[in-house]
Amino acid sequence: MKAWPVVPLADVLQHRKEFITIDDTQHYKRCRVQLHAKGVLLRDTVSGADIKTKKQQVCRAGEFLVAEIDAKMGGFGLVPAELDGAVVSSHYFLFEIDESCLDVRYLDHYCRTERFRKQVEAQGSTNYAAIRPADVLAYTIPLPALPKQQALVARLDALAGKTRQVEAHLEAALRDAEHLLALRFRDAIAGAPLRPMAEVAPSIRRPVEIDIDTRYREVGARSFGKGLFIKPDFDGAEATWQKPVWIKSGDLVLSNIKAWEGAIAIADEQHDGCIASHRYITCVPDPELATVGFLVYYLLSEDGLEKVGLASPGTADRNRTLSLGNLGKIEVPTPPLAVQHTFDRLQAAVAALKARHAAIREANAALLPALLARLFAHGCD
């Protein structure tokens, strides 16, 4: 088998450094480079009067665009057709591609490989993140004949298309599942009596007496209904806040400063025995009135979040505090427990579906990088 020649990018790219003067009366597209070799996107469209640096470069479709500062974090990519004519500052480098020997799409795939990223990360001083055009031109690329490049691109594009189809199917299935949940919940609460949280799930605080010789595990709540997360363990002597509370499995946990933003979650077995700061409220549902899963779904619904927001007065982000008194006054629907349990089983089924889909997504996302690595590691006809 014949090995592919490996050439410096200087053999197939040419740095283009041309500047225009911005006209204050015109409008310009500006682009940005995503990190981790995720490509080039539209940043915004602005009036020339709003662009402070009047000397800008004009991008051409198909050129290789490199961010001076972010290159080592994968800040590079091909300029897409829709950004032809967009402008970038002098902190970007533009390179024309010799398409007589290098297929633009082949470079687009190659620059996403670990092999290419390692070259970028290794270039220059470790104490200075910026790279220069000469650095880029010194990177190397395996360069088979143009027909071979095009065949590889066709193979990679076909796989990329299939992975996108899988992702689209997963998204559609998840949307359907979420829609089904919403419909079933609507039916479950139709005509259900409303009761105050103070009755349905009263606040229960379990004060922690910090022992300086004991290690503790702390939890926090993510906004937008993303659940609880566990922070690194720490020694009691390192505690920087007062009046922490114990968390128990089955608690309904709310951040009193971020509940309005969806920082509401259920503590499960992995959170049992953890502690939370005084900024967290723990509620325990009355088992004769409500399940924690049903309550959390309601509080994170549009109607529930509206009530939580109204109960969290204030104008500034950090000043929107949910008091125990206001929380206790929030009225929640309480259909029969059998109805709630049925809905909770559906929630569990959807959660299991999400977990399976997450595993499929992870495997699906790994397919193209694995094929890229194998093709370019092989490097021969």
Instruction: Please say if the pLDDT value at position 101 is more than 80.
Output: yes
Q: Is residue 178 part of a domain?
A: no
Q: What is the mean pLDDT of the chain?
A: 93
pLDDT digit string, tens, across residues 259-302: 999 999 999 999 999 999 999 999 999 999 999 999 999 999 99
For residue 307, tell me if it sits in a domain.
yes
Q: Give the end of a domain, one of 114, 143, 172.
A: 143
Q: Report whether 334 contacts 240 (CB < 8 A).
A: no
pLDDT of residue 128: 54
Last-in-domain residue among 143, 177, 207:
143
Q: Taking the CA of residue 272 as centre, how many other CA atoms within 13 Å lie in the half-sphere pointing to its CB?
A: 5
Nearest to 71 by CA among 129, 31, 134: 129
Q: Is residue 368 domain-resident?
A: no
Q: How far apart are CA 15 and CA 136, in angstroms?
A: 9
Q: Residues 96-117, buried b or exposed e (16+ Cβ, 10 A)?
A: ebeeeebbbbbbbbbbbbebbb
Residue 358 domain flag: no
Q: Which domain holds residue 108?
A: 6-143
* Predicted confidence (pLDDT) per residue in 188-201, tens digit: 999 999 999 999 99
- pLDDT at residue 123, as a whole number: 65
On whether residue 172 sits in a domain, the answer given is no
Digit-coded pLDDT (tens) for 286-296: 999 999 999 99
* 221-233: average pLDDT: 95
**Residue 315: C-alpha distances to residues 257, 279, 309 (Å):** 12, 18, 11
CATH code of 10's domain: 3.90.220.20
Which residue, of 143, 168, 185, is where some domain finishes? 143
- 379 domain residue, yes or no: no
Q: Are residues 207 and 303 in the same domain?
A: yes
Residues 354-363 have a mean pLDDT of 95
Regarding whether 241 and 118 lie in a shared domain, the answer is no
- The four Cα atoms 365, 369, 374, 377 give a dihedral, to 10 degrees, of -160
| Residue 157: exposure state from Cβ atoms within 10 A (0-12, 13-18, ≥19) | middle
| 71 CB-near residues (< 8 Å, 6+ apart) | 120, 130, 131, 136
pTM greater than the 0.85 cutoff: no
Contact 256, 281 (CB under 8 A): yes
Any idea what DSSP says for residue 50? G
Q: Is residue 98 part of a domain?
A: yes
Residue 378 has pLDDT above 70, yes or no: no
The mean pLDDT value for 223-238 works out to 92
Question: Dihedral sign, CA of 291, 293, 295, 298?
Answer: negative
- Mean pLDDT, residues 16-22 taken together: 94
Report residue 234 as tokens.
């720490």
pLDDT of 75-98, one tens digit each?
999 999 999 999 999 999 999 999
Residue 347 covered by a domain = no
Domain tally, the chain: 2
